[in-house]
Every structure is written in C-alpha cells, then in structure tokens.
Amino acid sequence: MDERTAKPGHIIPSGVASLRTMAVTMTVMCYLACLAIGALILINRAVSDWTQGISREVTVQLRQISALNSDQETAKAVALLEATPGVTAVEPLERDASLKLLEPWLGQTNLDDLPVPRLIRVTVNEANPPDFAALEKVLAEQVQGASLDTHKRWAAELARMANNLSLLSWWILFLISGSAVAMVIFASRAALDANHEIVEVLRLVGAKNSFIAAQIGRRFLLTGLLAGSAGVALAALTFLILASVGGAGPSNAATASYSLLFAPHGNLWETAFIIMSVPVVATVIALVTAHMTLTHMLRAAP
C-alpha cells in the first residue's frame, strides 16, 4: 500500500471485547427503554380516553323492589332526566343488556333469578353539566330505588393507577440510564487498560490527554449511536409483532401496539420523536461518560 494514501488506524480497534460487550448491553438497554416509553405513552393515552368517556356519562341505577313496577319507575326516571338541563341523551338499558355486563364475573348461567337492577345511561354536556347533587336528590325523592353514579370514584382510581404506572415507567428509565452510565465507565476503563501501550506512545510523541480522550471517545460515540438505533429497531419490531399476532378486541395488546405505530390519534410524529430520542440519549450518555472517565484516568496516570 502507498504510504501517502494509508490512513492511520484508530487508537481503539472496533473489535475490542469491551466495545462489543458495551454495544450488546446498550442495545438491550435501549430496547427496554423503548418498551418502557411505549408503555408510558399507551397508559397515558388509555387513561385520558377512559377519563373523557367517564366525564361524558353518568349512570342511574334502579334497584328492584318487590311489588314495584320497574318499567313504570324507569319511565319516570327517564322523563325526569330528559327534563334536566345539561343532559343531552338518556338511554335505558334492557335487562338482557344489564345481564351481559355481569357475564364476565358471574358467567351466563343462573342469572335469571338475580335481582338485577335496571340501568339508565345518561350522556351529559361536558361544558355545562347538570347539578349532580340536586339531580341525585330529586331522583331519590321521586323515583323509588333510584340512585345516581357519577363514576367519580372510578375516575379517581384510574388516575391513581395511571400515576403509579407512570412512576414505575420513569423509575425503569432511570435504572436503565444509570446502568448504561455504569457500563460505559466499565468499558472505558477496560478499553484504556487494554491499549495503554498505544496511549503511552502517543504521550511520548507529544499528544495531549484531551486529544487522546477525544480520539477514543469517537469509538464510544459510534457505539452508542448504533446500539440506540438497534434498540429502537428491535422495539419497533416487537410492537409490529404484537400488532399482528394479538387476539381480537377493542382494548388488547394488539390494538394498543397498532395504535402506537399507526393510529396514535394524530400524535404520530410526537410519538416517533419521543421514541427516536432514545438513540440520541444513548449516544450522549456514551460520549459524555466516556470522555469524563477517560480524561480522569489519563490525568491520574503517571
């Protein structure tokens, strides 16, 4: 080879064991981080949808009382609700519909003899809702066995669950980031120790510590970028597999995964930006941590 066209090699070869180990480990960490971010997005989106649905509807329950005409009491409740300001729609549910709501817990047998209450679904105006306290009082006075459920308790439980799951997701991301920093520190030390002869030669010819650290840090920059990109690709493949092999249903893993990738309620670019930030963060962690570790080691070396 012509010496004039030959290019100098890297201080740290690409196949060094510490870099390979770091690349594999950071790929797995980035993959897990993408899964945690995807789960966090889906949790927040699902709770937002459920909360909006709960805020738009309330339920009137009519308990069955002996010697009481439930149809007559239901008609009275429907008329009262339709005359209430802030109510936009009233839909009394038939007994069969009420029984179907109990089937997931009680099954399909021996339900005919149960005193299943009549339910009335009430849609309210979110901008100008009715006075629920006054409505509950009027229902109790004028309709026997009637009670109003505004679903506030369920909304509070959903919000509490969402907060707990969000905190768990953020804690997982924090642990992954801390583990990545520790891995880069270990790889930096191992790479410098394995190539200390080359570093000593560079020092003899006058290379400064900052130059050596920068040259070695380039390897870690590229490794972090490739590992982050591979982690994102694996996460996208995982969501695609879940979207294609999941069972049928409006709220299962397949539907959620599909909505994350293809139908995110107009937030496709926002979701893509958040997911694609993983390789950027991985690159920054690898570069900054490696540079700080190498600089400290070079300064402490005799």
Using the 3D structure, point to which of 104, 120, 144 is the last residue of a domain.
Answer: 144
Q: Are residues 34 and 164 in the same domain?
A: yes
Percent of the chain with pLDDT over 70: 76
pLDDT band at 3 (very low <50, low <70, confident <90, very high): very low
* Residue 209 domain-assigned (yes or no): yes
Q: Are residues 185 and 268 in the same domain?
A: yes
Nearest-5° angle of CA 202, CA 206, CA 209? 70
User: DSSP code of 147?
Assistant: E
More confident residue, 272 or 137: 137
Q: Are residues 213 and 275 in the same domain?
A: yes
pLDDT of residue 20: 82
Q: Are residues 265 and 240 in the same domain?
A: yes
* pLDDT tens digits for range 47-101: 777 777 777 888 888 887 654 677 788 888 888 888 888 888 888 887 777 667 7
* Residue 231 domain-assigned (yes or no): yes
> How large is the average pLDDT for residues 161-170?
86
Q: How many domains does the chain have?
A: 2
Average predicted confidence (pLDDT) for the chain: 77
* Residue 84 domain-assigned (yes or no): yes
Q: Would the pLDDT of 197 be above 60? A: yes
Dihedral angle at the C-alpha atoms of 292, 294, 296, 300, nearest 10 degrees? 180
* Residue 3 domain-assigned (yes or no): no
Q: Are residues 35 and 75 in the same domain?
A: no
Long-range contacts of residues 167-172, Cβ cutoff 8 Å, at least 24 apart? 169/36, 169/37, 169/39, 169/40, 169/43, 170/40, 172/32, 172/33, 172/36
* pLDDT tens digits for range 29-50: 999 998 888 888 888 777 777 7
Q: Are residues 188 and 269 in the same domain?
A: yes
As a whole number of angstroms, the distance between CA 69 and CA 66 comes to 8
pLDDT of residue 15: 60
Q: Are residues 242 and 293 in the same domain?
A: yes
Q: Are residues 159 and 234 in the same domain?
A: yes
* Residues spanned by the domain of 47: 17-51+155-300
Q: Are residues 201 and 284 in the same domain?
A: yes
> How large is the average pLDDT for residues 116-122?
83
